[in-house]
Amino acid sequence: MTSCCEEPQFNKEGGEVEKMDVDKHEKPAIAQELWFQEDEKELVAKHSIGATVRAGDRTAKTADLKGGYQEGGFVNLKIQKNDGSFDPLETRVIVYSVVKKMLEEIEPEDLEGTPLLQKTKADLIEKLKRLYGRDFTDNDVVTIVRFEYADNLKEAGDLIRVKTLTYAHEPKENPKNMDIPSYTIPLIEHDYPAKTPVMWNAAYRKFGIDAGNIMLVGDSQSAGHILDVFRKDAKYRGGGAGVGFKNEVITYLDELEPLAKEIGAVNFIMKTPEGKLKGFNTDGIGYAQSLEEVFKQRQEELRGKKAVVLGAGGAGNAVAFALAEKGMRVVILNRTVAKARDLADKINRYFKKMRINETLRFGGEELIAAEIRDADAVINVSTKGSAGELEKYSALAPAVLPASQENIQENLDRTKELLRVIPQDAIISDIVLGKEATPLLKSAKAAGFETLDGIPMVINQGVEAFWLLYDKELQSKNITKEQVAEVMKRAASS
Ligand SMILES: NC(=O)c1ccc[n+]([C@@H]2O[C@H](COP(=O)([O-])OP(=O)(O)OC[C@H]3O[C@@H](n4cnc5c(N)ncnc54)[C@H](OP(=O)(O)O)[C@@H]3O)[C@@H](O)[C@H]2O)c1
């Protein structure tokens, strides 16, 4: 995160302290602090100040290089003493409104909440002159920054009020109302048509749980502040952590389930009866279950079967752990061999004591041809085949970039060759989700293989998380995990 501070507001030499030249090529920094003066300390302590007017453009997108204030962002209020040093007092606030105006446009209501004694433009001009050491005219630009004290944020709805979080609009059936008895909140960084709200809300209705699943969008850099509020919020029961939040939330949780700790990523947060926030990772188990279901239909089990896992990123971590836990013989092959090695070492260390599987192996993409010859499952967990420049590449063969027709064709031709090497009864799987089947799955289907996509993984990890939260309540009503899975599956495909 960019660290940035304000210029001192007092200029004892009378020089101009604000710098108005904007280098158009440099991105404005986001300000992290807001300074008040010693004589305003009492007002800050009593939370009586809720706004301030700064000279110049201090809006996040167009601010000069001192840094702009971002709506929804947290900053620290600091007290600068008359000798220029700082008081240790630091108060956390959240900025919810940043408005740029010319001084001539300032109305008395713009000055409400500021420390000015008389809320008049004349008073403001006088104060700016004192702070910045120069005269101000009606043509000067100023920025009105409004904020709320972090102590006053008690519920998730407050985070929406101050713009730290917004409702996701793309998922089907995402309620835009926090005024309900309890809720689970999946956090995501970018709005997308996620299935979680429709799945969870169907289960809430079906099993008579008076709660809602409300997906909210925010900046994962505010994860610590967001979780502080969730911890205080009696209505918050838990919820998902999407891409961006998966790693970021870990530092701010009170407890971590051992597997999530090993994987280094959390996809689900549960509030314990003691009010602690505990992190889990159900991504991997969700995938392992979906593969298990495929083998079960053949009257076979996962234990002892060989899985060739293509990729070693965040999803690869979770999937490889879960498959190893199921007793599969896992080989991790990744473009960057060091990452495959680190992951294999980590998993081997974790399972060493339990001796539940043979040592995991690893390698680079050049080993794909050799390792798939006796594979029972070949699973893509890399980003090959996902939206963007890799969209048209199959994960079974190297992806030479740029994504030219020639390079893509070479990848697809090589995939065809490699598919001929794989035993015909192997499962070819790809967790990458898209509007249609990935190039790997399309090629595998064309070659007559049974395939498995990433949708069952989404459903299963949702069921696992729902069960973690509500198992006692559901069991007391004689509701089984299978019934939850059935409801969520139906909702996801609706
Ligand atoms: N279905 C589900 O529920 C579900 C859940 C989670 C994730 N996913 C999907 O899984 C995919 C991976 O996610 P992630 O979070 O693991 O991503 P990540 O942490 O960024 O890891 C990316 C992986 O892709 C590999 N990769 C990237 N570019 C490559 C290239 N040009 N050639 C070969 N390998 C390349 C990386 O290899 P290097 O180490 O060499 O960079 C790494 O192994 C995403 O598409 C995500 O949407 C699906």
380 and 468 belong to one structural domain: no
Confirm whether 124 is domain-assigned: yes
Give the per-residue pLDDT at 359.
76
Residue 293 forms beta bridges with which residues?
Answer: none
Q: Distance, CA 384 to ligand 1 centroid (Å)?
A: 7
Q: Whose CA is nearest to atom 18 of ligand 1?
A: 313
Residue of 287, 335, 362, 451 to test ligand 1 pocket, by largest number of atoms within 8 Å of CB: 335
Which residue segment(s) compose the domain that 378 sits in? 300-452
Q: 3-state DSSP call for residue 228?
A: helix
235 and 261 belong to one structural domain: yes
344 and 410 belong to one structural domain: yes
Q: How far apart are CA 202 and CA 212, in angstroms?
A: 9
Confirm whether 23 is domain-assigned: no
Q: At 126, which helix (H) or strand (E)?
A: helix 121-132
Last residue of a domain, one of 136, 152, 168: 152
Confirm whether 101 is domain-assigned: yes
Along the 494 residues of the chain, how does pLDDT read in single tens digits?
Answer: 333 333 333 333 333 334 433 344 455 578 889 999 999 999 999 999 999 999 999 998 776 666 889 999 999 999 999 898 998 778 999 999 999 999 999 999 999 999 999 999 999 999 999 989 999 999 999 999 999 999 999 999 999 999 999 999 999 999 999 999 999 999 999 888 889 999 999 999 999 999 999 999 999 989 999 999 999 999 999 999 987 899 899 999 999 998 899 888 999 999 999 999 999 999 999 999 999 999 999 999 999 999 999 999 888 999 999 999 999 999 999 999 999 999 999 999 888 755 555 678 999 999 999 999 999 999 999 999 988 899 999 999 999 999 999 999 999 999 999 999 999 999 999 999 877 899 999 999 999 999 999 999 999 999 999 999 999 999 999 999 999 999 999 999 88
Give the per-residue pLDDT at 111.
97
Give the per-residue pLDDT at 164.
94
**Which residues form ligand 1's pocket by a CB distance below 6 Å?**
283, 311-316, 334-336, 339, 381-384, 386, 390, 399, 431-433, 454, 457-458
Q: Distance, CA 377 to ligand 1 centroid (Å)?
A: 18
| Closest-lying ligand 1 atom to the alpha carbon of residue 243 | 15
Give the per-residue pLDDT at 26.
53
Nearest to 367 by CA among 378, 383, 376, 351: 378
Residue 303 in contact with residue 328, Cβ under 8 Å?
yes
Give the per-residue pLDDT at 200.
98
Q: Taking each helix axis from N to C terminus, what angle separates 439-446 and 405-421, rounded to the nearest 10 degrees? A: 50
Q: Distance, CA 342 to ligand 1 centroid (Å)?
A: 16
480 and 439 belong to one structural domain: no
Which is it for strands 255-256 and 277-280: parallel, antiparallel or unpaired? Answer: parallel
Residue of 188, 382, 389 to test ligand 1 pocket, by largest number of atoms within 8 Å of CB: 382
Give the per-residue pLDDT at 46.
94
Catalytic residue set: 246
Q: Distance, CA 432 to ligand 1 centroid (Å)?
A: 8
Backbone angles phi, psi at 467, to 5 degrees: -70, -40
| Domain of residue 43, CATH code | 3.10.400.10
Check residue 56 and give left, alpha or beta (phi > 0: left; psi -120 to 50: alpha).
left
Confirm whether 189 is domain-assigned: yes
| Closest-lying ligand 1 atom to the alpha carbon of residue 390 | 31
| Domain of residue 260, CATH code | 3.40.50.10860
Give the per-residue pLDDT at 24.
44
Does pTM surpass 0.85? no
Q: Whose CA is nearest to atom 9 of ligand 1?
A: 432
Confirm whether 195 is domain-assigned: yes
Give the per-residue pLDDT at 349.
87
Nearest to 464 by CA among 256, 267, 324: 267
Give the per-residue pLDDT at 3.
32
Residue 76 in contact with residue 32, Cβ under 8 Å?
yes
Q: How far apart are CA 494 and CA 480, in angstroms?
A: 22
Torsion of CA 440, 488, 212, 281, to 10 degrees: -50
Tokens in use for 475?
């069991």
Domain count, the chain: 3
